[in-house]
């Protein structure tokens, strides 16, 4: 953000934007950790019920993240085909 844009930005929004940025960085780290552990779990001899739980949790989490993404883009998730998948 350039200096002129920073001056136009409402001061009351600066901290929420910083918080959002930090939350996204935390999410990125969590997804990286999950991805690494997921690959290890897929190759390990884990019982089928545990694998199914991980697969279902993963699908739900990804759909939820997409729901949030749609909301941030101004799309009503209730009117999007993703609703039928969740």
> Tens digits of per-residue pLDDT, 40-73?
777 777 788 888 888 888 888 888 888 888 888 8
Which tens digits make up the pLDDT trace of 10-40? 888 888 888 888 988 998 998 888 888 877 7
Q: CA 20 to CA 6: how far, in whole Å? A: 17
Supply the angle between the helices 48-72 and 11-43 in degrees, to the nearest 10.
160
Residue 86 pLDDT level (bands cut at 50, 70, 90): low
For 83, the token pair is 């609703």
Q: What residue segments make up the domains of the chain, in order of their start?
A: 45-85
Residue 51 contacts by C-beta under 8 Å, 6 or more apart in sequence? Answer: 41, 42
Does the pTM of the predicted model rise above 0.85?
no
CB 64 within 8 A of CB 74: no
Give the model's pLDDT for residue 22: 92
């Amino acid at each position: 953000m350039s200096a002129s844009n920073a001056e136009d930005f409402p001061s009351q929004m600066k901290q929420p934007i910083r918080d959002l940025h930090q939350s996204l960085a935390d999410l990125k780290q969590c997804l990286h950790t999950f991805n690494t552990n997921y690959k290890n779990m897929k190759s390990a001899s884990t019982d089928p019920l545990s694998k199914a739980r991980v697969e279902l949790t993963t699908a739900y989490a990804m759909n939820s993240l997409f729901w949030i993404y749609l909301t941030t883009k101004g799309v009503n998730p209730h009117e999007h085909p993703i609703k039928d998948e969740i």
